[in-house]
Chain A
Amino acid sequence: MLTFTLRRLSLFLFTMLVLTLISFSLSFLFPGDTVINHSGQINATATELAQLNEAYQMDKSIFTQYGAYLTHILNGDLGQSMASQSPISNEVLELLPATIELSLVALLIAMLVGIPLGFIAAINHNKASDNAILSFAMLGYSIPVFWLGLLAILFFSIGLGWLPSAGKISLLFEIEFVTGIQFIDILLSESPYKWQAFSNASSHIILPACVIALAPATIFIRLSRAAMIEVLAASYIRAAKAKGLSFQQIIFRHAIRNALIQIIRHVGLQFANLVTLAMVTEVIFSWPGIGRWLIESISQRDYTAIQSGLLVLSCFIFIVHILTDFIYAALNPLARGNHHGS
């Protein structure tokens, strides 16, 4: 486990290095002055500009410049947003939890729906229900997410009026910002209307989370179906059958456990896909998350925000990636001995 941890750690450091290098070079690629792109201070006076040049070591070699940039990031200084002139790190801290919340709920829905369906398809391999589930998976995988979001709003919010179409919670509720994850904040708050707020927040999250969850759910269907088919063909299942175990016992005690391990390995990879879908969905559902903020920064040509948004989002994705790797290794001893990291 120690070598596994060290290997993951070195991969993590290398990735962070490449990611910061990419975001550092973006300042040169974006139009405008490099140091202004780094710091986001578009209205800097001559003295301020001189200070910035000093702080980012712009007169030294490119390696020193990168070092200075890295120090700024490690100190939590991502510069200012060019559009709002407020520090980006504060904005990110406010917005990122909303995205984390939305994508985790969506991931949960995708797994809860996708994995059992995939198992059912695998158990009825090559039968009508298998084909039906596979066709559903193909369709769900192909629907453009923004279209699905619009149809969902038209049907559930405007047509039936069941669920709200925009925002995170009704403006009537005042929830103090503690962690940024709304459900935790609501539970922590002292408000007498805690449970009303909780149900209101849940009704706001259902629609966007389901829209995001559809495509990953279909991928989980395919993954779990493939894993289950492989496990059911294994010899220990035949041995269990020969022992005279009933079908339920075989599936629940032996097959599901071994198939689940295979699926957990792919959760990290699917997460990147899910975050992309979340970015687009946030725009449609006016969810106050980092995806919407990033897309707005592009239309506002807010280069500092784009750069930091890329850094923060890819860090987040990569951390989830590594976490799932650890969970997989903790559950599956075979993975720890593997010399080739995924």
Chain B
Amino acid sequence: MAREKIYLEEVFPSPFMQLWGIFRKTPVAMVGFCCFIFLVILAIFAPIISPYSPVEGHLDMILLPPAWHPDGNVSYLLGTDELGRDMLSRLMYGTSLTFGLSFIVVIFSLVIGVVIGSLSALTRGIKSSFLNHFLDVILSIPSLLLAIIIVAILGPGISNTVWAIAIVFIPQFIHITRYAVKEEFRKDYVLASRLDGASNFRILYYSVFPNIVERLMSQATLAQSAAILDIATLGFLGLGAQIPLPEWGAILANGLEHFYIAPWTVYLPGLAILFAVVATNLVGEGIRHALKLRKEN
């Protein structure tokens, strides 16, 4: 008789910890996660660790190829652009603009979207139906088109781009929160806490949110990869970050004139965008994969 086992309390990890347990065992997702953390750290510490200023030119070092090229110089690891600005420093600062801003944008829209979405999930009838149709219309307009329109109203510039993209992403968070909250509210455990006399807000806070947080995170990674691409695209089109700012899309647009003689000014920012988007998507894939496995167990 294994009597002592009676006293060992069985510990159920929270849904979130279960998810992390599965997530940790997927190597590809962990690689993506490490890259993601790396980008976050780079975005925060870029001003400290970058070797040169992103806007200051070295006129004796114009269009220097990367260091592995025979003409390269190792003190300018990734070469310089047409004004002699160090590409590595520009890309590092660009991380905090393109990647860092997209991160902030997504958090901002997430918070607002979740608040509006969960409030609207509690309403019924004509108000809710109107909101539903209205959201459908807004969601059927492509996000970049909507962002371009908002930028047209506010005028070009990086801060206006950020506002535009934040506004564009709010509807999809409202939509997914509303859907998820409504679905959870039909389940029995919500009924149980309702029978205990919990108010709607208490149920939302203590019962529903812990169960939908992963779904929101997975949507947030999707939104972030779209936000990186949108910020870069607007920068590329000249509607986002303006000339001296080292935003990845703007660097790329800047390098266009010297595309043929200095291809690294176009390759490198493109690769940086690709790297950031792939890292974000890998994390998102990992979360969705883990969610699926947890559901199957």
Contacts and interface: CB of A to CB of B under 8 A. Distances in A.
A257 to B, nearest CB: 26
A313 B145 contact: yes
Contacts of B277: 142-144
B13 interface: no
A157 to B, nearest CB: 12
A122 interface: no
Contacts of A19: 137
Interface in B254-280: 256, 259-260, 263, 266, 270, 273-274, 277-278
Contact of B140 (A29, A158, A321): A321
Contacts of A245: none
A275 B273 CA distance: 21
Contact of A29 (B137, B153, B285): B153
Given A29-B153, A143-B274, A317-B140, A280 B281 contact: no
Contact of B141 (A146, A272, A280): A272
Contact of A273 (B133, B142, B153, B278): B142
Interface string B143-157: 111001101110000
A19 B136 CA distance: 12
A26 B133 contact: no
Contacts of B270: 144, 147, 150-151
Interface string A274-311: 01100110010000000000110011000100100010
Contacts of B158: none
A117 B273 CA distance: 26
Interface in B25-63: none
Contacts of B204: none
B236 A30 contact: no
Contacts of A29: 153
Nearest to A276: B142
Interface string B214-245: 00000000000100010011001111000000
A321 B144 CA distance: 18
Interface string A306-342: 1000100110011001000000000000000000000
Given A139-B278, A310-B145, A147 B237 contact: no
A247 interface: no
Counting contact residues on chain A (CB < 8 A from B), the size range is 35 or more
Contacts, number: 104
B282 interface: yes
B134 interface: yes
B271 to A, nearest CB: 9
Given A276-B142, A295-B148, A11 B236 contact: no
Contacts of A310: 141, 145, 149
Contact of A146 (B152, B233, B260): B233
Nearest to A313: B145
A295 B145 CA distance: 10
Interface string A6-49: 00000100110011000000100110000000000000000000
B166 interface: no
Contacts of A138: 278, 281-282, 285
Given A158-B260, A318-B140, A142 B233 contact: no
B290 interface: no
Q: Is the interface of A mostly helix, strand, loop or mixed?
A: helix
B208 interface: no
Contacts of B143: 276
Interface in A153-212: 154, 158
Interface in A95-130: none
Interface in A45-102: none
A168 to B, nearest CB: 21
Contacts of B282: 138
Given A18-B137, A138-B285, A146 B252 contact: yes
Nearest to B266: A150
B152 A30 contact: yes
Contacts of A145: 229, 233
B232 A283 contact: no
Contacts of B153: 26, 29-30
A154 B259 contact: yes
Contact of B144 (A150, A279, A317, A318): A279
8 contacts: A14-B133, A142-B281, A144-B273, A147-B274, A275-B142, A306-B152, A314-B141, A317-B140
Interface of B: 133-134, 136-137, 140-145, 148-149, 151-153, 225, 229, 232-233, 236-239, 249, 252, 256, 259-260, 263, 266, 270, 273-274, 277-278, 281-282, 285
Interface of A: 11, 14-15, 18-19, 26, 29-30, 138-139, 141-147, 150-151, 154, 158, 272-273, 275-276, 279-280, 283, 294-295, 298-299, 303, 306, 310, 313-314, 317-318, 321
* Smallest CB-CB A-B distances: 6 pairs: A147-B270, A276-B142, A142-B277, A276-B144, A142-B278, A18-B137
Given A15-B133, A150-B266, A280-B144, 19 more contacts: A11-B136, A15-B136, A30-B152, A142-B274, A142-B277, A142-B278, A143-B274, A144-B229, A144-B236, A146-B236, A146-B252, A147-B270, A147-B274, A150-B256, A150-B270, A154-B263, A276-B145, A310-B141, A314-B140
